[in-house]
Structure formats: C-alpha cells, structure tokens
Amino acid sequence: MSWEWQMQGEPGRIGRVVSVAGSEVVFLHDAPPVRNGNGTDHADGQAGALQIGTLVKMRTPNSVVFGMVSGLSIPVPCGQGSEAEMRIVELELLGESHVNGSAGHPFQRGVSIFPSLGDEVFETDQSDLTLVYSRPELSTVRIGTIHQDESLPAYVLTDDLLGRHFAVLGTTGTGKSCAVALILRALLDKHDNAHVVLLDPHNEYARAFGERAEVLSPENLQLPYWLLTFEEMVEVVLGHEKQDVAAATAILHEAIPAAKKQFLKNSEDDLIVTIDTPVPYRLTDLLQNIEDEMGKLDKPEDTAPYLRLKNRVNTLRSDKRFAFMFGGLSVRDNMADILSRILRIPVDDKPVTIMDLSGVPSEILNVVVSVLCRVTFDFGLWSDSAVPILLVCEEAHRYAPQNSEAGFEPTKRALSRIAKEGRKYGVSLCVISQRPSELATGILSQCNTIFAMRMSNENDQAFVRAAMSENALGILDFLPSLHNAEAIVVGEGIPVPVRLCFEHLSEGDRPKSGTASFSSAWQNESRDKDFLKEVVDRWRRQRR
C-alpha cells in the first residue's frame, strides 16, 4: 500500500478493516512510521504511535464503533522503515456511539452494528476520549487519570464496584496499599456514613485514614471466646495438638452447649441453644463440666484427654497474648456493643474500622479473621442488608489459599461465602493480594472489578487472565511493564476497560508500607544496647 494513496484518505485515517470475528477486529495499519527528532515512532504525524490499550474508532452508517488495541505485529519484517511491510493491529471492540456521538447519543458499552471488511479505521482525538471516558451520570468517585490522555479523569462506579466485589492485585512494591487507601479515601469523601472493616495484617493503614478510623488491636479489642463457632474453638484450644484430638473434641462438643445453657438458665428467653449459637458462657462452667465428666470415669488412664484439655484452657486464660479473647473476670452479653465497635454502628465520624492483626498471636490469626468475616456476613444476613458493609481483606491469599491443605478451612469458607452471597445481604468484599495464583479461585472469580497492577510472575498473570470476564484481555500484556501507581482496570466498576494512573497521595495520607532504606540505615551506628532492651521488652509483652 503506497504512501501517496494513504495521504488521499480522510485526515486521521490509520488503516482499513481486514477481519471481523465476534468482538475482535483486525486492521492493516497503512501508514509507515516516521521517526521524529527524539527517536519516537509516530505514524504520519499522529499525536502518538499506536500502543496496547490505545483507543481507535470505525464508522458505520449509524454509529461510531470504538475499539482498544490489543495486539501489534509485523508478520514479515522487511528493511528498516520499509513501506512494503504489513502492519497488523488487533482490536477488541468496547462500545459505540450512535449518530456519531452527537447530543443525546452518548457512548455505550456493547456493539449493535459491527464494522465491515474494508471499513476505514481512524485515530481518536480528545473529544472521542472524553466521550468514552466521560463521567457517567451514576454515582461515581474519581481515583486517577486515563493513561492515553492524563488530562482526562478516571472514575469508578460506586454501586457496581462495591455491589459486585473488587480486587487489587500486583507485585509487592507496585503501590497496592496506596491504591487501596486512595480508593477508600475517595469513597469516604463522598459517603460520610460508610461502614468499612479493613483487615490489616502489617499495621500499615492507620495513618492513611487518621481521625476517620477506629483502630482495633489486641490491646483494645474485645473478641470473646463465646463468639467462636465450635470449629473455631477447637482450633484455638487444641491447635496443632496431635494427642487425643478426637477425644478432646468430643469432650468439648458436650461441655460447651451445657455451659451455654447454664449461663441462660435464669433467663426468660426460650432460646434454643446449639453448639454454634453466639451466646455467652463461663469458662469456669466449661471446666466444671469437663471435671464432672472426668469424675464419671472408672479407669484413671482414661482421664488423660480431660486433664490435657483443662490444662490447655487454663493456659489460654493466663496467657496475656490471648487477653482480648479469654480475658476478663466477668462474662456478660455484650455482643451488640462488640458489633457496634467493629462495624461502626453508629458511625460517629469514624466510618473505617482498622483491625490491626500484627499483634495477634500467629497460632490463632486465621481464627480471628474467620470470626471477623463470619460475623460481618451474619450481621448482613440477619439485618436484611440494612447497613451495607465493605470488608477489605489485605493479604487475602494467606487466609483463603488455593492449596486445600493450607490455611484454616472455616476462614476460607467465610470469605467464599461473602464472595458468593455477600451482595445479596449488603456485604461487599475487597480482595488484596500480591500472589493471586495462591488465592482460592472461587473468591477471585467473584470479584467483578479487578485492578491489576504490575506483575512479573507468569503464574500470577495467567491466573488474573483466567479471572477476567471482559473481552479486552489484550491490555493485560502490559502487566509486566506497568509503572508504580498504574493499573489495568477491567470489570463492572468502570465504564470501559482502561489503563489508568492513580492520583498522588501526600506522604501523610499513605499507608506505612515503604521498604526499609538499607543504604541510609547502614551509614552510621545509631543504636545501642538500650535500644535492644526496649525491643526485647516489646517482644515479650507483644506490644509494638
């Protein structure tokens, strides 16, 4: 195709359609590259060369169809700058604007009139990009700018983002925590009475929300043992015990319901108590029930599992690390107060609860996450979704791993239930992970909006591709080369799939997730033995 022939076409023309298959279009790029002074290839003076993710347009008799570049190739390379080279560009169709995008005919996703073979393909200008990426009339929040034109803002659709779950994925160091903080802050700026529960395993997010957050840690958290289900209680009490596990489990199965009934015996409530009913009971009653059952045994050697179980319960009661669960001399029914603090009901100008899990003993961390996820879902279920709640799960692959033998099964079930059924009861899930390939497939597949940041691991890239429900998978080829604070966003929470740059967060609004500076810290000897003594004291007291 000659250069003179191309110049006779309409300004902005960049090729012609040679293949249409479903939502995929292939066109021949008919302008040879012109190298400018700074070494950048531009096509016939275009504002920029075609890249993966660039938007182009095609005209039909009644509409303008927009497509996103998903592939570029030269099947038979010739000499440098040869006009005879065939340049193939692959597109994924995104949507259309009827009557050439005139007033009353905005851009809409989906295509009703497809391009035909031989139709011309044109570059888009700023008015086209504004049409496609314009702010929808629905409730939205701004989170960044469009990569193709950074003068254009990028919005997310609030109800579609939250109502159908979302995920933020990317290699460590790409800005995931800042992206999450930015998205949440944007939502909170528009919704003063939000209810957000953020599971923070590394104590990163407290400073990102300041006075708008209620920070709960083992030092000020109340999560009493009687809120635990039987499975969770067995995990806490028995843990990785290998001796007499079956016998100890059977003993607890009888002793716990009896202790609950003893607590309620003077109540006029006709509540039917099961082993998982969240009602209080006293550990003294539990131990007495174990003691009574042990006294009925004929052989002394049969008492071993009872004695080990009693010792284990007493150890938990005396261990200060477990005070938030087993502490307190009196037992009272304060479940409403506990939920009020965790779920921010009423909000009291603090719409975010940050659960600082960094100080939770590692032996019961998964159990604590299980309880928090479960009570959040159960509240949504039994409140008839009167108070929508967003649960943000940082490092989700730790609690819901793909490996069926890893993690704590009730935690995985609790997260999976929110992912599958949460939207029916006003419970939204935000999944954050640096290793999506290690995350349970069923959970990620339920996230209908995915913010994919830089990923270099091929398994992670393949996993994200498999979870994508959009057609515009070609832009995922950019994942290994994205800058920090950039993301490919696909799903229901945005008008169209897009590569965007997140807004800049000031230093004081960023999570505390920076990498330690070895080069500066190793310049001077600035620590002494007093510093070590302070560290040892915090270590022993489990206080950061």
Q: Is residue 264 located within the same domain as residue 409?
A: no
For residue 526, the model assigns a pLDDT of 75
Domain count, the chain: 3
500/360 same-domain check: yes
d(CA 236, CA 253): 14
Instruction: Note whether 58 and 25 are within 8 A (CB).
Output: yes
pLDDT tens, 351-405?
999 999 998 988 899 999 999 999 999 999 999 989 999 999 999 998 988 887 7
519 lies in a domain? no
Distance CA 224, CA 231 (A): 15
200 in the same domain as 122: no
Q: Does residue 214 sit in the same domain as residue 280?
A: no
Contact 91, 65 (CB under 8 A): no
Asked if residue 277 and residue 163 are part of one domain, the reply reads no
Q: Does residue 539 sit within a domain? A: no
358 and 271 inside one domain: no
pLDDT given at position 514: 62
With respect to residue 301, please indicate whether it lies within any of the assigned structural domains: yes
pLDDT beneath 50, residues of the chain: 1-9, 35-47, 101, 103
Q: How far is CA 279 from CA 70, 90, 314, 335, 337, in A?
A: 56, 61, 21, 8, 14
On whether both 82 and 205 belong to a single domain, the answer is no
My answer on whether 186 and 296 are in the same domain is: no
- Residue 441 belongs to a domain: yes
Q: What percent of the chain has pLDDT over 90?
A: 47
* CATH number where 402 lies: 3.40.50.300
- Cα separation of 118 and 121, whole Å? 9
Domain boundary among 292, 326, 360: 326
Domain assignment present for residue 270? The answer is yes
Amino acid letter, 141: V
CA distance 507 to 257: 52
Residue 526 tokens, joined: 């600035």
Nearest to 130 by CA among 171, 156, 101: 101
The answer to whether position 521 is within a domain reads no
Say if residues 14 and 32 touch (Cβ distance below 8 Å): no
pLDDT of residue 99: 66
pLDDT tens digit sequence for 406-427: 778 899 999 999 999 999 999 9
User: What is the DSSP track for 108-138?
Assistant: EES-SS---TT-EEEE--HHHHHHHHPPPSS
Same structural domain, 356 and 322: no
Q: What is the pLDDT of residues 215-252, one digit of tens each?
A: 999 989 999 999 999 999 999 998 877 677 899 999 99
What is the DSSP code string of 182-222? HHHHHHHHH-TT--EEEEETTS-SHHHHGGGEEEE-TTT--
Same structural domain, 447 and 472: yes
| Residue 485 φ/ψ region, left for φ over 0, alpha for ψ in the -120 to 50 degree band, beta for the rest | left
Of 270, 300, 326, the one marking the end of a domain is: 326
Q: Give burial (CB, 10 Å; 0-12/13-18/19+) of 153.
A: middle
| β-pair type (389-393, 41-43) | unpaired
User: Alpha helix locations (H) across 276-303?
Assistant: 283-295
129 falls within a domain: yes
Domain boundary among 86, 102, 133: 133
At residue 414, the pLDDT reads 92
Rg (CA), the chain: 29
State the virtual CA torsion across 397, 371, 234, 311 in degrees, nearest 10: 110
211 with 356, same domain?
A: yes
Q: Please tell me whether residues 364 and 302 are part of one structural domain.
A: no
Tell me which residue range forms the domain holding 274: 226-326
544 located within any domain = no
